[in-house]
Structure 1
Amino acid sequence: MTRRIALTFMALIVTLLVLAVVPLGLSMTQRERTSFRDTTEAADRTIAAAAEEHLSDHRSPASMRRLLEQAERAGDCAAVFDAAGRTVAATGCPGRTGEGDEEDEAADSWGDLAHQVLVHPKTATRERDDRLIAAAPIGDTTHPVGVAVLSRSAEGMNDRISAMWGRLALIGAGGLVAGVLLSVALARWVGRPLRAVDAAALRLGEGALDVRAPGGHGPQEVRRLASTFNTMAARMEALIHGHRAVVADVSHQLRTPLTALRLRLDLLAAGADDATAGEFAGAQEEIARLSRLVDGLLAVSRAENAVPRPVPVRVDEVVDDRVTAWEPVARERRVSLTGRCGAGLTAYLGAGDLEQVIDNLVANALDAVGAGAAVRVEGEATRERVLLRVVDDGPGMSAAARQAAFRRFGNPEASGSGLGLAIVHRLATANGGTVRLEDTAGGGLTVVLELPAPPSQGPPRGLRAGS
């Protein structure tokens, strides 16, 4: 964003400089050329006025010659022609003093211009060899008695124009440098607080509930954004801490009376007859079921209220560990339990969350399948995600049951508490992943989890099987 703001501001400054400096330079160049032409024509008309006194009034040519000498000292060259085109007086001139073709070409140019003015009596100008030649009629503009021609070098004018463009270029370069510095400062002024808010939002999403964005910097809108973010973060922190406190209180308040009730039933059952002892045993089973239900509800609440701080987790190691832990249960139920993951497969999620997910999925699968069935835990890496599948060949699940499976007690076909898939769903979504249910080819149910992978996660380097 900082780069885009700086580039946009620089492009705007360059456009403004081009639109302002270039037309100004062209206008000043045109003004300089016009001024040079006007002064040259004015000097030529002055010589023509002095020459008129000599050619028309037959006075002394002293005034005309004095003007010609002044023009020569100024670096100009001039000549006076009569009505027949003959040279009356002239100064030395680089364009007229030469040898051979150069002198003839210069004489022809002056003669042609003088003839043009005699035919069409009005001041005429021509540019030749970096010089401006002006010719003015002498005497009556209807019947001129001669022509005064003045040639002036344009080198001084060109030097002034070059110097003017140089000054404009320096002004433009200075404006561009100042604009670059201003644009970078503006971009940083706007971009730094936005980056700070972005970093704070990232840390908040990773579970740092006490993070706050620095305020008091940048434009008013950015400061207001930081203030709004901090208010949101504070309310979220208070809400989550409140939920955690409720979960802890409920856990304590429910577990204590359930434990006391179980102990009382044990004491009563010890001295009761067989019929009464059987009733006490049934009551103890209901209390055990109630305890498992409370544990499940607390697990779901913790999953909902937790904000995990993602860390790299070796999926292959966790799968091997959990398969090994559940192997005795599977062997007792005569179910084949295997795990197969790519070596080095790594996901990015909260510490301990993957273990809970696999435990719940394996427990559900073992409860659903019968003797002789198989349960497989498979993992692989894609471009940006880690896929984890728990596949069984049990009875499967109806479409209606799959739609409600991730809600608390949503699956009417569940043999247990109906909270296992709800816990899996909460943990997966809290870590930025997804979970879905699919039919296993040939019958059964497949649970597919998509978990975020670390930025460096690549494809699996191989496969290894776990018992």
Structure 2
Amino acid sequence: MKRRIALTFLVLTTVLLVLAVVPLGVLMTARERVSFRDEQRSATRVIAAAAEEHLSDHRSDAAMRKELKAAADAGDCAAVYDAAGRPVASTPCAAAQGEEAEELVERVLAGHEPEPPENEGRLLAAEPAGDVRQPAGAVVLARSADPLDARIAAIWGWSAGIGALGLAACVLLSVRLARWVSRPLSTLDATARRLGEGDLGERAVVDGGPPEVRRLTATFNTMAGRTEALVHGHRAVIADVSHQLRTPLAALRLRLDVLAAGAEAGTAAELAAAQEEIARLSRLVDGLLAVARAEQATPRPVAVRVDEVVAERVAAWSPVAGERGVELTEVAGPALTAGLGSGHLEQILDNLIANALDAVPDGGNVTVGHRVAGGSAEVRVRDDGPGMDAAAKEVAFHRFGNPEARNTGLGLAIVHRLVTANGGVVRLEDTPGSGLTVVMELPLWTGSAAVAPSRGRRS
């Protein structure tokens, strides 16, 4: 933002300076040229007036030669021509003579206005001696263009200097303005980032900046305070629900166990069914609490070795898979490090493996593999169970989205929340032949931060 503000001011100032300074420089340059030519023609007319007394009135040429000497002392070259175009007198400098000078004399004697040419760095000017219609002669004066060039260079030099000073002042002012505007916004951004990472007590402190930014900061702090109160209240409710539901369920299950120990055969069957319902309710409460905790997760990414976690969870679940007659295997992959919240990958794999083992019949297979794909860490949990149809996949990541789930139906909801909270993507694919494959794209760890995968595919 700071760069954009400074660059915008710099571009605007540059355009304004160009629109103001360049036309002014061009105008002043033209005025200098006109002034220089007028001075040259005035000096030429002085010599022509003295030459006219000699050429038409046949007086002494002393006055004419005096003016020629004054022109020579001033650094000019001058030559006097008679009515036939023959040189009569001149300064020691011969720049006022030659072909170009003779062409000027012919045009003047013919009564035309000559175009002033430039000869070897000198500007030529010609004036008639006497009447313009019937001149008695002509005078040509050659003056060095160096003074004119020096004055023009000074004009453009001063213009460039003024423009540079204007740009420098603009840069200083724009940088100060950009800092004045962006510094409180940067503070607010850093506070929002820390708040998003889970530091709910964080508040922005902004003493300067525009009034709108200060009002935004006050509004943000109010919102943060309300968010903190809501989150803490939600967590308190979850803790209360956990205590209030688990305790009576445990007591009820204990009483049913006591009753079942001394009950008759028919009654014992009914009590066993009630115990199964109590167990299901306990699992449901645990699942709801797990989902609530996952939804509140605001992970701080740490380096997680995907290959090591996959191998560990496969080893941990292998005895369970063996008891159910399911073959659980790991597909070997490269050493891979992802940026995830601490313990989240273990929780994700536990839910996916548990779901896969429940879905696969006796003699089935479940495989877990990982690799690098598309700039992310890809983890796949594949089974050869019955799979899901398109309608079930659409709602699979919702709470209780799959009505045919054998357990609580919350496992995939927990997985989806944890993966997306860590900046990843999860989707469901059909296993070739039969079954379901859960594909997760997790952000790679680059040494200091996690690089989120592309969101080109929807989960």
Q: Same fold judged by TM-score > 0.5?
A: yes
The separation in 1 between residues aligned to 2:368 and 2:261, in whole angstroms, is: 44
Q: What is the letter of the counterpart of residue 420 of structure 1?
A: G
Aligned residue number for residue 101 of structure 1: none
Alignment partner of 1:342: what SS? coil
Segments of 5+ residues of structure 2 without an aligned counterpart are 452-459
Q: What is the letter of the counterpart of residue 39 of structure 1?
A: E
Alignment partner of 1:165: what SS? helix
1:192 to partner: Cα distance: 4.0
Aligned residue number for residue 427 of structure 1: 418
TM-score w.r.t. structure 1 length? 0.85
Query: CA 1:130 to 1:439, structure 2 compared with 1: closer, same or farther past 3 Å?
Result: closer
Structure 1 counterpart of 2:390, from 380, 399, 416: 399
The separation in 2 between residues aligned to 1:118 and 1:29, in whole angstroms, is: 32
Q: Is the 8 A contact 1:433 1:451 kept in 2?
A: yes
Structure 2 counterpart of 1:357, from 342, 345, 348: 348
Aligned residue number for residue 234 of structure 2: 243
User: Aligned runs of 1:264-343 on 2, under 5 Å?
Assistant: 264-269=255-260, 276-343=267-334
Superposed CA offset, 1:316-369 (max 9, x none): 222222222222211111211112342322222222222222112211222222
Q: Is the 8 A contact 2:334 2:371 kept in 1?
A: no
Q: What is the letter of the counterpart of residue 32 of structure 1?
A: E
Structure 2 counterpart of 1:454, from 434, 445, 453: 445
1:181 to partner: Cα distance: 3.5
The separation in 2 between residues aligned to 1:135 and 1:124, in whole angstroms, is: 9
TM-score w.r.t. structure 2 length? 0.86
Alignment partner of 2:355: what SS? helix
Aligned residue number for residue 38 of structure 2: 38
1:248 to partner: Cα distance: 1.0
Query: CA 1:55 to 1:434, structure 2 compared with 1: closer, same or farther past 3 Å?
Result: closer
1:38 to partner: Cα distance: 0.6
Q: What is the letter of the counterpart of residue 50 of structure 2?
A: A
1:73 to partner: Cα distance: 2.3
1:191 to partner: Cα distance: 4.2
The separation in 2 between residues aligned to 1:158 and 1:398, in whole angstroms, is: 87
Q: What is the letter of the counterpart of residue 445 of structure 1?
A: L
1:235 to partner: Cα distance: 3.5
The separation in 1 between residues aligned to 2:304 and 2:320, in whole angstroms, is: 25
Superposed CA offset, 1:126-161 (max 9, x none): 421222232221222222222233332222222222
Q: Is the 8 A contact 2:301 2:422 kept in 1?
A: yes
1:258 to partner: Cα distance: 1.9
The separation in 2 between residues aligned to 1:425 and 1:109, in whole angstroms, is: 93
Query: More displaced, 396-405 or 317-326?
Result: 396-405
Q: Is the 8 A contact 1:41 1:123 kept in 2?
A: no
Alignment partner of 2:445: what SS? coil
Kindly indicate whether residue 199 of structure 2 is the aligned counterpart of residue 208 of structure 1. Answer: yes
Q: Is the 8 A contact 1:316 1:344 kept in 2?
A: yes
Aligned residue number for residue 93 of structure 2: 93
Name the count of aligned residue pairs.
Answer: 449
Alignment partner of 2:442: what SS? strand
1:203 to partner: Cα distance: 3.5
Segments of 5+ residues of structure 1 without an aligned counterpart are 97-105, 459-467
Aligned residue number for residue 177 of structure 1: 168
Superposed CA offset, 1:348-407 (max 9, x none): 222222222211221122222222111111222213322222211222233333333333
Superposed CA offset, 1:289-323 (max 9, x none): 22111111111122223322222222222222222
Aligned residue number for residue 372 of structure 1: 363
Structure 1 counterpart of 2:135, from 133, 137, 144: 144
Alignment partner of 2:133: what SS? coil
1:223 to partner: Cα distance: 4.7
Aligned residue number for residue 444 of structure 1: 435
The separation in 1 between residues aligned to 2:393 and 2:109, in whole angstroms, is: 109
Aligned residue number for residue 120 of structure 2: 129
Query: More displaced, 369-378 or 64-73?
Result: 64-73
The separation in 1 between residues aligned to 2:99 and 2:143, in whole angstroms, is: 17
Aligned residue number for residue 166 of structure 1: 157
Query: More displaced, 25-34 or 84-93?
Result: 84-93
Q: Is the 8 A contact 1:124 1:136 kept in 2?
A: no
Q: What is the letter of the counterpart of residue 134 of structure 2?
A: H
1:58 to partner: Cα distance: 4.4
Q: What is the letter of the counterpart of residue 438 of structure 1?
A: E
1:41 to partner: Cα distance: 0.8
Query: CA 1:287 to 1:85, structure 2 compared with 1: closer, same or farther past 3 Å?
Result: closer
Q: Is the 8 A contact 1:122 1:141 kept in 2?
A: no
Aligned residue number for residue 53 of structure 1: 53
Aligned residue number for residue 20 of structure 1: 20
Identity of aligned residues (%): 64
Query: More displaced, 307-316 or 280-289?
Result: 280-289
Query: CA 1:339 to 1:37, structure 2 compared with 1: closer, same or farther past 3 Å?
Result: same
Q: Is the 8 A contact 2:200 2:224 kept in 1?
A: yes
Q: What is the letter of the counterpart of residue 34 of structure 1?
A: V
Query: More displaced, 119-128 or 369-378?
Result: 119-128
The separation in 2 between residues aligned to 1:50 and 1:135, in whole angstroms, is: 14
Q: Is the 8 A contact 2:107 2:114 kept in 1?
A: no
1:250 to partner: Cα distance: 0.6
1:8 to partner: Cα distance: 4.0
